Amino acid sequence: MVQLMRRRRAEGTESAQVEETASESKTRLIDAIPIPMGDPLEALLLSNGGPVVLRDLEFESAALDGLRQSGVELVVPLIGQGELLGALYLGPRLSDQPYSTDDRRLLGSLASQVAPAMKVAQLVREQQAEAKERERIQQELQVAALIQQTLLPKELPAITGWQVDAFYRPARAVGGDFYDFIDLEDGRLGVVIGDVTDKGVPAALVMATCRSMLRAAAQRHSAPSAVLAEVNDSLVPEIPPAMFVTCLYAIIDTGAGEIVFANAGHNLPYVRSNGGVIELRATGMPLGLMPGMSYEETSYGMGAGEVMVLTSDGITEAHSPEGEMYGFARLMGRVGKKTSEDDMLNEVVNDLEKFTGPDAEQEDDITLVVVKRTSSAQGAASTFLPLEGGVPLQDGGESEGPQVLARFSVPSEEGNERIAIAKVTAAIGSLALQPDRLERLKTAVGETVMNAIEHGNEFRSELDVEVEVCANDDTVSVLVTDQGGDKLIPEAAVPDIEAKLAGEQTPRGWGLFLIEQMVDEVKSTSNGGAHTVELVMNREGAL
Amino acid sequence: MESVFEATVSRTEDGSVVVMSGTVNRAAKEALESAYEEAASGPGKILMDFRGVDYINSTGIAVIVGVLAIARAEHRAVGAFGLTDHYREVFTITRLSDFMTIYDNETAAAAAG
Amino acid sequence: MDGFSGSLRQGLDPNTLVGGWVGVVSETMQPSSVSVWIRNDFGTLEG
C23: chain A residues, CB-CB within 8 Å: 7-9, 15, 19
Report pLDDT digits (tens) over A268-286.
999 998 888 999 989 999 9
Helix axes C2-10, A101-151, angle to 10 degrees: 30
C-alpha dist (Å) from residue A351 to A320, A321, A354, A397: 11, 14, 5, 43
Give dist(CA A316, CA B105) in Å, integer: 64
Pairing mode of beta strands A297-301, A276-279: unpaired
Average pLDDT for chain B: 90
C28: chain A residues, CB-CB within 8 Å: 106
Across A448-452, average pLDDT: 91
Domain A402-538's class?
alpha beta
**Tell me, what's the pLDDT at C9?**
60
Residue type, B3: S
Residue A292 neighbours by CB under 8 Å, 6+ apart: A233
Alpha helix locations (H) across A357-457? 417-427, 435-451
Domain at A33-122, CATH homologous superfamily? GAF domain (3.30.450.40)
- Chain A, window 122-141: residues with a beta carbon less than 8 angstroms from a chain C beta carbon: 122, 124-126
Give dist(CA C34, CA A23) in Å, integer: 10
> Is the C-alpha dihedral spanning A323, A329, A333, A334 positive or negative?
positive
What ipTM was estimated for this complex? 0.91
A28: chain C residues, CB-CB within 8 Å: 32-33
Q: Where are the domains of chain A?
A: 33-122, 153-373, 402-538
Look up the domain containing C32 and give its range: 2-42
A484 CB-side CA count, 13 A: 26
Query: Rounded to a whole number, what is the distance in angstroms from the first to the last CA of chain C?
Result: 23
Give dist(CA A430, CA A182) in Å, integer: 12
| Phi and psi at residue B51, to the nearest 5° | -60, -35
CATH architecture of B6-108: 2-Layer Sandwich (3.30)
At residue A242, the 3 state secondary structure works out as coil
Pairing mode of beta strands A176-183, A162-169: unpaired
Confidence class of residue A172 from pLDDT cuts 50, 70 and 90?
confident
Report pLDDT digits (tens) over A75-129.
999 998 888 989 999 999 999 899 999 999 999 999 998 888 888 877 777 888 8
Domain at A153-373, CATH homologous superfamily? PPM-type phosphatase domain (3.60.40.10)
Give the pLDDT of chain C (47 residues) as one tens digit per residue. 566 666 666 656 777 788 888 999 999 999 999 999 887 655 444 33
Report pLDDT digits (tens) over A31-43.
578 899 999 999 9
- Spatial CA neighbour of B35 closest among B13, B62, B66: B66
Give dist(CA A222, CA B100) in Å, integer: 52
A-C contacts (CB, under 8 Å): 158
> Would residue C12 count as lying in a domain?
yes
Domains in chain C, number: 1
Contact A449, A410 (CB under 8 A): yes
- Chain A, window 43-82: residues with a beta carbon less than 8 angstroms from a chain C beta carbon: 70-74, 76, 78
- Order of all β-strands in the sheet with A74-80: A28-29, C33-38, A83-90, A74-80, A52-53
Calculate the CA dihedral of residues A355, A361, A365, A368 and round it to 10 degrees.
Answer: 30
**Tell me, what's the pLDDT at A31?**
52
Give dist(CA A356, CA A363) in Å, integer: 10
Contact C24, C1 (CB under 8 A): yes
- Spatial CA neighbour of A412 closest among A465, A368, A448: A465
In this predicted structure, the answer to whether residue A486 has a pLDDT above a threshold of 80 is no
Report pLDDT digits (tens) over A220-237.
999 999 999 999 999 999
- Chain A, window 423-442: residues with a beta carbon less than 8 angstroms from a chain C beta carbon: none
- Spatial CA neighbour of B41 closest among B50, B33, B29: B33
> Would residue C47 count as lying in a domain?
no
Residue A328 neighbours by CB under 8 Å, 6+ apart: A267, A316
> Would residue C15 count as lying in a domain?
yes
Residue of B nearest to A420 (CA): B1
A310 Rama sector, left if φ>0, alpha if ψ -120 to 50, beta otherwise = beta
